Amino acid sequence: MKILQYKKGSALIRQATEKGFTLVEMLIVIAIVAILASVALVSVRGVREAAADTKRISDLSKVQTLLEIYYNKQGTYPNVSTWDALETELKAKNITATDIPQDPLGDTRSYAYGIQPSTFQRYILRAQLLDSDHRNLTDANEIDTTEYGVDCNDTSGYYCISSF
């Protein structure tokens, strides 16, 4: 079937002998789809990072509760220097039967625990947030110094809470 197409206002007439899309039309559609996909991926990434930071803050609160239970039973906070050792100690004293939280994205932004070396009466917990401008980094209760060997500098995105 032959189709004649006429463009109004022009003497140019084109014959189309086949149905379908031209290569240029296909390339335009592919470019539009690629642009839409990249916009969607950027949006999803931001939401994912915000959710991970919220979970990190929540995780520290959960561990803080476990540490207060430990303190009520033992009279001091655990005298350990790593996050894994803290988990082992909390399980050994029957404070928790489950694992303490780990980073939600499983990356190198691990949690940290520091203890006052002389009396074990104070501790500090740290998580590194992806968003270094997170609103919780300006919270009045958030720590901004290095305490008990745990760096809590806000410029690195470190969010820290403590027993004091």
pLDDT tens-digit series, residues 105-154: 776 567 889 898 888 899 989 888 877 666 565 565 567 677 787 887 76
Domain presence at residue 7: no
Q: Is the whole model's pTM more than 0.95, yes or no?
A: no
Domain presence at residue 42: yes
Domain presence at residue 12: no
Residue 76 has pLDDT above 70, yes or no: yes
Domain presence at residue 133: yes
Tokens 């050792």: give the residue: 85
Residue 69 has pLDDT above 70, yes or no: yes
Domain presence at residue 148: yes
**Cα distances (Å, whole numbers) of residue 122 to 61, 119, 125, 155:** 15, 8, 10, 24
Domain presence at residue 20: no
Q: In this structure, what are the phi and psi dihedrals at residue 150, rounded to the nearest 5 degrees?
A: -110, 115
Domain presence at residue 152: yes
Across all residues in the chain, what is the average pLDDT? Answer: 79
Domain extent, residue 77, equals 25-162
Total tally of structural domains belonging to the chain? 1
